[in-house]
């Protein structure tokens, strides 16, 4: 009876440990608002999942230089999240669609652990991206951010797509009603120095310098309808949204 009581007492704690991501305390205050209202937590990142698009409107994760030192192999085990009972996209939706299964949270950012990198292959972390975009300008931005992690130590990264009409966010669907975003964005947050910058890019071949696609946080909020720093105090919100991008890019 005592053993049963102990099991019952510890079960809620074990369940909570499985649900709450290990990094939540590091990035929770930087999570933007959710237009879809369904937040899913994985071990080291979270997503805002949208039923009507069968995609996550944004993801957020946290990085430090020591994590980028480990290199586990890509698993390529693309799969649906079993908790969603088929509400997310599946592999057949992308088959012969002409679009890549583009990561929102890059697998390379989670290569410090085999379980964590595997979790980046959930379909909730995928979006239809043109090959030219996914393997071109988007990849350049991801690589640049990893370099900034080494320079600035602790950062949070928000990645998502536009769900408004800028000028039109979704121009097509693939498979069983999986939306194809027109624009993707990344928000880079230098936590220690309270700085941020954002990129907004069309889902197509990127020409010119990636810095040509910088956008202010305020403009990105107007385009997406989201509030990116609503959880921090008012003064910090102003500081984060000042976008001193020259200090980061130098």
- 26-76: per-residue pLDDT in tens? 999 999 999 998 999 999 999 999 999 999 999 999 999 998 876 788 889
The pTM for the full model equals 0.89
Domain-embedded: residue 125: yes
Average pLDDT over residues 73-92: 94
Planar angle of CA 71, 58, 33, nearest 5 degrees: 130
Percent of the chain with pLDDT over 70: 89
Domain-embedded: residue 171: yes
Percent of the chain with pLDDT over 90: 74
Residue 63 CA to residue 86 CA, distance in Å, equals: 30
Domain-embedded: residue 122: yes
Per-residue pLDDT at 149 exceeds 80: yes
CA-nearest of 133, 108, 229 to 183 is: 133
* CATH number where 170 lies: 3.40.570.10
Average pLDDT over residues 84-88: 96
Tokens of 122: 């959930």
Residue 82 CA to residue 91 CA, distance in Å, equals: 14
Per-residue pLDDT at 87 exceeds 50: yes
Average pLDDT over residues 225-231: 95
Question: For the chain, what is the mean pLDDT?
Answer: 88
Residue 159 CA to residue 196 CA, distance in Å, equals: 13
Per-residue pLDDT at 19 exceeds 90: no
Domain-embedded: residue 132: yes
Domain-embedded: residue 10: no
Sequence-separated (6 or more) residues with CB below 8 Å from residue 147: none
Domain-embedded: residue 16: no
Residue 27 CA to residue 44 CA, distance in Å, equals: 10
Quick one: pLDDT at residue 99? 98
When divided into structural domains, the chain yields a total of: 1
Residue 56: which domain range?
A: 23-249
Domain-embedded: residue 226: yes
pLDDT band at 22 (very low <50, low <70, confident <90, very high): confident
Quick one: pLDDT at residue 118? 94
Least confident of 27-36, 171-180, 238-247: 238-247
Q: Given the DSSP bridges, would you call strands 195-202 and 214-215 parallel, antiparallel or unpaired? A: antiparallel
pLDDT digits 0-9 by tens, 103-113: 999 999 999 88
pLDDT digits 0-9 by tens, 192-214: 999 999 999 999 999 989 999 99
Quick one: pLDDT at residue 245? 64
- Among all chains, which residue has been given the structure tokens 């990116």? 228
Quick one: pLDDT at residue 248? 76
Tokens of 120: 């980046």
């Amino acid at each position: 009876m005592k053993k049963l009581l102990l099991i019952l007492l510890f079960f809620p704690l074990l369940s909570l440990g499985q649900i709450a991501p290990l990094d939540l305390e590091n990035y929770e205050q930087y999570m933007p608002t959710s237009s879809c209202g369904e937040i899913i937590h994985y071990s080291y990142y979270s997503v805002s999942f949208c039923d009507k698009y069968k995609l996550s409107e944004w993801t957020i994760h946290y990085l430090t230089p020591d994590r980028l030192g480990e290199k586990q192999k890509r698993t390529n085990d693309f799969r649906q999240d079993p908790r969603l009972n088929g509400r997310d996209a599946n592999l057949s939706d992308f088959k012969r669609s002409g679009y890549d299964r583009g990561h929102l949270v890059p697998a390379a950012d989670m290569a410090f652990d085999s379980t964590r990198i595997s979790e980046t292959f959930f379909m909730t972390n995928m979006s239809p991206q043109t090959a030219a975009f996914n393997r071109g300008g988007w990849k350049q931005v991801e690589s640049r951010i990893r370099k900034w992690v080494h320079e600035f130590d602790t950062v949070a990264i928000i990645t998502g797509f536009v769900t408004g009409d800028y000028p039109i966010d979704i121009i097509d669907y693939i498979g069983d009603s999986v939306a194809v975003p027109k624009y993707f964005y990344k928000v880079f947050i230098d936590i220690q120095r309270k700085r941020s910058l954002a990129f907004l890019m069309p889902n197509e071949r990127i020409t010119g310098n990636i810095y040509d696609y910088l956008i202010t946080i305020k403009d990105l909020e107007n385009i997406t309808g989201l509030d990116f720093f609503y959880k921090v105090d008012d003064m910090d919100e102003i500081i984060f949204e000042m976008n001193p991008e020259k200090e980061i890019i130098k």
